[in-house]
C-alpha cells in the first residue's frame, strides 16, 4: 500500500518504520529534519499525501491537525483514507472527518495507547472512530503498528474513548499515590499495602501494573527514578482534553476537574514536567494535611 505519514516524532517515527518494514511504500514528512528507516522523505505534507491510499497523521494538538488536514486533503485521491493517530480534542477530530468526507475521502480518528515502547514494538492499542468502510481500510495497518484496534463508533468516538480512559487513569493514579502517602504516615509497610490492595477491592491498573512505589509490584517508572513512561505533562494534556470535552458535552466531571488541577500544579509549579505521571507519590510524601 502507498502510505503518506505526517508527523515522525517519538511516536510517528517508529510507527512509520514498522509500516515500511512490513513492505508498504511509505512517504513521510515532519517539520524537523528526520530520517526514518525505509521511509522516503517529502518536502511538504501535501507532497507526502499525493497519490497515497492512506495518509496517517501523528501530531501534537487539534489546531495543528486542522492545519495539516487543510493542506493534505486537496492532495489526496478520492476514496483514500485520512487516519489521524494524534490525541486531540473531539471537536477537531469531528471537524477534520467532516472536511475529509466532503472531499470524498474516508476518515478515521484513531488515538493510541502504549507509548513510545508500544510504537517501537508494534504493540499499540488503537481506539478508532469513523465509518465501517474507513475502519476496514485502516485495520490492516493497525495490525502492523499495534496489537489491538477497537472500532468505537462514528467520527470522534476514538478520541472520546481515549480521553475517558485517561481521565480514569489520572484520577486512579492520584488516589493510589494518596493512599501510599497515607499508609506511610500510618506506619503501614508499602509491600503489605500492595499485597492487600492488589488483591482486594481497591485494585486498579495504577496499583497492580504500574505501581507508583519503588520496589513494590512489577517493574515500573518508579523503579527508574520516575523517568517516563507516561509523562505527567502528557497526562495533563489528556486531562485538559477530557475537561474541554466535558464542557462541550455539559457533563459533570468533578474528579476529572480536580485531577486536571492537581497535575497542572505538579507540572507547572512543582517541577513535575518531564517526570512520569506516577511521580505524584513523592509529591504527596512531602505534603501535610491542608496542602502545606
Give me the active site residues, please: 162
Containing H/E element for 255? helix 254-269
| Per-residue burial over 156-193, b = 16 or more CB atoms within 10 Å of its CB, e = otherwise | bbbbbbbbbbbbbbbbbbbbbbebbbebbeeeeebeeb
Burial of 82 (0-12, 13-18, 19+ CB in 10 A): buried
| Per-residue burial over 112-125, b = 16 or more CB atoms within 10 Å of its CB, e = otherwise | bbbbeebbbebebb
Instruction: Please give the grid coordinates belonging to residue 272.
Output: 513535575
Q: Comparing C-alpha atoms, which of 239, 240, 234 is closest to residue 275? A: 234
Instruction: Please give the grid coordinates belonging to residue 233.
Output: 505533562
Instruction: Please give the grid coordinates belonging to residue 2.
Output: 502507498
Amino acid at each position: 500500500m502507498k502510505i503518506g505519514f505526517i508527523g515522525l516524532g517519538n511516536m510517528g517515527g517508529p510507527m512509520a518504520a514498522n509500516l515500511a518494514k512490513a513492505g508498504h511504500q511509505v512517504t513521510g514528512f515532519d517539520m524537523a529534519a528526520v530520517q526514518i528507516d525505509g521511509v522516503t522523505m517529502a518536502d511538504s505534507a501535501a507532497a507526502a499525501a499525493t497519490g497515497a491510499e492512506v495518509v496517517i497523521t501523528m501530531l501534537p494538538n487539534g489546531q495543528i491537525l486542522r492545519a495539516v488536514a487543510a493542506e493534505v486533503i486537496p492532495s489526496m485521491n478520492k476514496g483514500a483514507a485520512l487516519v489521524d493517530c494524534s490525541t486531540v480534542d473531539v471537536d477537531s477530530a469531528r471537524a477534520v472527518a467532516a472536511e475529509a468526507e466532503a472531499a470524498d475521502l474516508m476518515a478515521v480518528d484513531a488515538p493510541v495507547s502504549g507509548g513510545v515502547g508500544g510504537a517501537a514494538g508494534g504493540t499499540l492499542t488503537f481506539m478508532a472512530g469513523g465509518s465501517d468502510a474507513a475502519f476496514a481500510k485502516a485495520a490492516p495497518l493497525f495490525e502492523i503498528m499495534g496489537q489491538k484496534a477497537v472500532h468505537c463508533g462514528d467520527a470522534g468516538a476514538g478520541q472520546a474513548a481515549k480521553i475517558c480512559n485517561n481521565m480514569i487513569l489520572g484520577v486512579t493514579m492520584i488516589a493510589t499515590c494518596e493512599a501510599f502517602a497515607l499508609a506511610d504516615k500510618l506506619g503501614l509497610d508499602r509491600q503489605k499495602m500492595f499485597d492487600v490492595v492488589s488483591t482486594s477491592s481497591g485494585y486498579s491498573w495504577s496499583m497492580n501494573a504500574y505501581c507508583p512505589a519503588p520496589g513494590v509490584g512489577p517493574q515500573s517508572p518508579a523503579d527508574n527514578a520516575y523517568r517516563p513512561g507516561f509523562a505527567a505533562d502528557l497526562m495533563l494534556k489528556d486531562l485538559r482534553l477530557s475537561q474541554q470535552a466535558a464542557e462541550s458535552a455539559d457533563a459533570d466531571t468533578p474528579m476529572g476537574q480536580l485531577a486536571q488541577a492537581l497535575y497542572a500544579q505538579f507540572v507547572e509549579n512543582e517541577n513535575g514536567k518531564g517526570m512520569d505521571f506516577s511521580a505524584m507519590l513523592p509529591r504527596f510524601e512531602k505534603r501535610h494535611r491542608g496542602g502545606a
